[in-house]
Amino acid sequence: MAYYNKQEILDYVEEATVKLESKGLKPLNPAEEVVKRLNDEEDMVGFFWIEYIEEGDGEKIKMEGKSWYRISGDLYTDDRFAIDLYQAMVAGLTVTDIIKKREIDKELAKQGIVDIETLEQTVKANTNQDGD
């Protein structure tokens, strides 16, 4: 589904929290923060966590979760095209302009990450891997 109301977002967060607790994981942002953002009608709401996956040569980190963009009142979307279209409409641009800008921003962000292995170790060191 591409469109959600506040209750559907809260249902997702509740279900994800139960799954996280069963795995001994904690979210990066607590459910209470999601509720506050929804009540404050902030434009962007997200709920994320990090999982650690065993692979042949060691452990990898994987960020999981979801984000929603508020279109109006009680209407949110997680659909990339819907978000691009909305942002283009608000800015008076084309969807192509929005996509090109995002690609430029992505490339600039990549240039800021020099050593991905060091970044992964930093994330592991600063997140709760064992549920403590």
Residue 123 predicted with pLDDT over 80: no
Q: Between 118 and 31, where is the model more confident?
A: 31
> How many CB atoms lie under 10 A from the CB of residue 52?
15
Alpha-carbon distance of 63 to 41, in angstroms, equals: 25
Strand 44-55 to 58-72 pairing? antiparallel
Domain boundaries, the chain: 3-126
N- to C-terminal Cα distance for the chain?
35
Question: How many CA atoms are closer than 13 Å to the CA of 7, on its beta-carbon side?
Answer: 0
Q: For position 48, what pLDDT does the model report?
A: 95
Residue 131 has pLDDT above 50, yes or no: no
State the pTM of this model.
0.70
Q: Is the pLDDT of residue 90 over 70?
A: yes
Mean pLDDT of the 21-38 span? 93
b or e along 100-122 (b: 16 or more beta carbons within 10 Å of the residue's beta carbon)? eeeeeeeeeeeeeeeeeeeeeee
Mean pLDDT, rounded, of the chain: 86
